[in-house]
Structures are given as C-alpha cells and as structure tokens.
C-alpha cells in the first residue's frame, strides 16, 4: 500500500526510515481492519513549518508533532471500520487507491519527544504516523473513551511492527498525566499509574478516595481493574507516579498485581523528578498467586 513521502531538503528520511514508516502505515490500516488499497501524502518538516500550518488551518500559533487532514468525513463517532464503504468515496483512479488525506510530521519535534521518552527517533516517527493515519480513518481522542480506543489501535499497530509501546520513560510520563485526575481530598496524596498488558495495550488509573476510607481505591488497582474488565489477564510492567515520596504499591496492590503478573514484572516509580525500579517479586516475595500460591500448592497447571 503506497505512502507518498515528501520532505524538506534539510529534514530527509533515510531509506531505512522510509521502509519502517511504510510498515507503520500498513500496520495502522491493519489495526483498523481496512482492506482497501490506500495512500497518504506525508510531509516531514520542522517546527517552523508545522507551526505555520497550525496557524493557518487551526488558528494555533505553536508547533505540534503531527497534523492530519482527512479527505473523508465520517458519520459522528464512527470510523472506517464502521462504515468501510465511505472509503470508496475517496478512491483516486490515477493512483488506483483510496486517498485518505495528508499528514505533516515535524521531525524536529519528534526528535525532542524521542529524547524525552527515551526511545529512538525511528520509533517516534512510526508512532506519529500511526497516530496520524488513525485520525484519517476517523479516530479522535477528545473524550477518555475515544482516547482509550485510539490508544489500543496504536498499540496494536506498534506491536505488529515489533515496536510495542512503551519504554520506561513513556510509561512514567503517562503515569504522571494520570495523576492529574486523582480524587484525593482526604490524603492530599495524588497518585497515577500506567499498566502495560501482555499484548502491548496501556491502561492508566489514579487513586480515588471516599469519605468512608475503606472504600478508596489505589491508582494501581484502578489501572488493573480497567485492564481486566477489557479482557486482559497478563501484565508486563507498571509505572507509578506521585509527589513528595516514592509511591511503592501498597500490600493490597501488590497482591492484586501478582494475580496477573509474573514475579519478574518491573515496577517503576517516580516522584519530584526522581525514579526507582524494582520487581513485583522483590516487593512481594513468596506471593500467594496463581504462579506461586494455591494452584502451585495443588499441583495444577499454570
């Protein structure tokens, strides 16, 4: 499936970058379940160029990482998977493919974000392209539900490429963002968590307190229960963010996590710019879990 790439002379892509982005494009279409032959016009530029486009088209005078301009207007809250026949309206006989629209990516912005998240520029460029293509296919992230759906699609695409999200820094950043939604009027101790499932999906959560203290819920369990309610049963890693002190999970959270994660699962914590790392097994040795608890005692298969 073609990806038409254009870029400024000072911001070229290597042949390897182009091949990876071709794979990212195909993976994004596959994540949405699109079988039509499609193409996208991709322009790689710098912050100044994308800022000018932002100002002209969105009246926002600042640079962003990626902009998408779809050719197809989907019905409200629907995407290409819901109404695949809409793709035919954008069929280009000259290209013999569906014209999904235009995507602009600031390589300068992507480079800064790659450094912030601690991964490669290639991975960031591929992620931004996947994100942009999903916008062209009708996805958005205005509401929390839309954001979660889009995030799942992004993770499916990145996993298909062999570039699953996230790394340690990316998870910590999402945990910090989740902390902002904390409801903690009694402890005044906001906590956020980001959980990575076995298939590469991400779930975030915050602590939610209650006037009856025993009914409060920790950020880790909020993220865990969200993942389990969506059908996930194995976890790969969790990141936890707070302020003033290291937010190691409480005993209850360690026990809940051990139900769905191996003892080797990494646990990252961050507070006030500090970070530490441990494993679930180190925090909860000899856990009573499917791995080491009653099933093992009874000699059952894992």
Q: Which residues are catalytic?
A: 220
Alpha helices in the chain (DSSP H): 15-32, 47-58, 107-117, 121-136, 144-160, 168-179, 219-229, 251-260, 280-283, 294-298
C-alpha distances out from residue 272 to 215, 246, 269, 280, 285, Å: 28, 9, 11, 23, 28
Beta strands 192-197 and 235-242, pairing class = antiparallel
| Residues 47, 129, 79: CA angle, nearest 5 degrees | 120
H or E element, residue 276: strand 274-279
- Cα–Cα distances (Å) from 8 to 11, 66, 92, 104, 149, in that order, read 5, 15, 26, 11, 33
Locate 73 and state its tokens: 């207007």
The conformation of residue 239, written as its DSSP 8-state character, comes to E
> Rounded CA gap, 286 and 40, in Å?
53
> Phi and psi of 58, rounded to 5°?
-125, 0
The answer to whether 241 and 269 are in contact (CB under 8 A) is: yes
């Amino acid at each position: 499936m073609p990806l038409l790439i254009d870029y400024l002379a000072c911001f070229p892509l290597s042949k390897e970058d182009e091949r990876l982005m071709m794979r990212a494009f195909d993976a994004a279409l596959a994540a949405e379940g699109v079988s039509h032959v499609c193409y996208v016009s991709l322009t790689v530029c710098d912050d100044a160029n994308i800022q000018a486009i932002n100002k002209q088209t969105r009246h926002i005078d600042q640079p962003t990482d990626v902009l998408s301009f779809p050719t197809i207007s989907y019905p409200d809250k629907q995407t290409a998977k819901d109404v695949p026949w809409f793709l035919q309206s954008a069929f280009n006989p000259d290209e013999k493919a569906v014209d999904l629209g235009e995507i602009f990516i600031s390589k300068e912005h992507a480079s800064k974000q790659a450094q912030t998240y601690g991964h490669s520029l290639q991975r960031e460029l591929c992620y931004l392209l996947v994100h942009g293509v999903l916008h062209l296919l009708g996805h958005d992230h205005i509401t929390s539900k839309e954001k979660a759906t889009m995030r799942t699609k992004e993770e499916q695409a990145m996993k298909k490429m062999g570039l699953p999200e996230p790394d340690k820094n990316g998870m910590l950043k999402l945990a910090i963002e989740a902390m902002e939604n904390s409801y903690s009027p009694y402890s005044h101790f906001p906590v956020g968590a980001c959980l990575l499932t076995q298939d590469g999906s991400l779930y975030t959560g915050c602590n939610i307190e209650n006037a009856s203290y025993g009914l409060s819920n920790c950020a880790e369990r909020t993220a865990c229960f969200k993942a389990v309610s969506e059908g996930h049963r194995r976890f790969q890693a969790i990141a936890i963010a707070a302020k003033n002190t290291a937010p190691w999970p409480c005993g209850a959270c360690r026990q809940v996590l051990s139900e769905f994660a191996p003892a080797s699962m990494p646990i990252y914590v961050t507070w006030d710019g500090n970070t530490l790392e441990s494993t679930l097994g180190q925090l909860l040795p000899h856990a009573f879990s499917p791995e080491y608890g009653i099933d093992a005692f009874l000699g059952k298969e894992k």
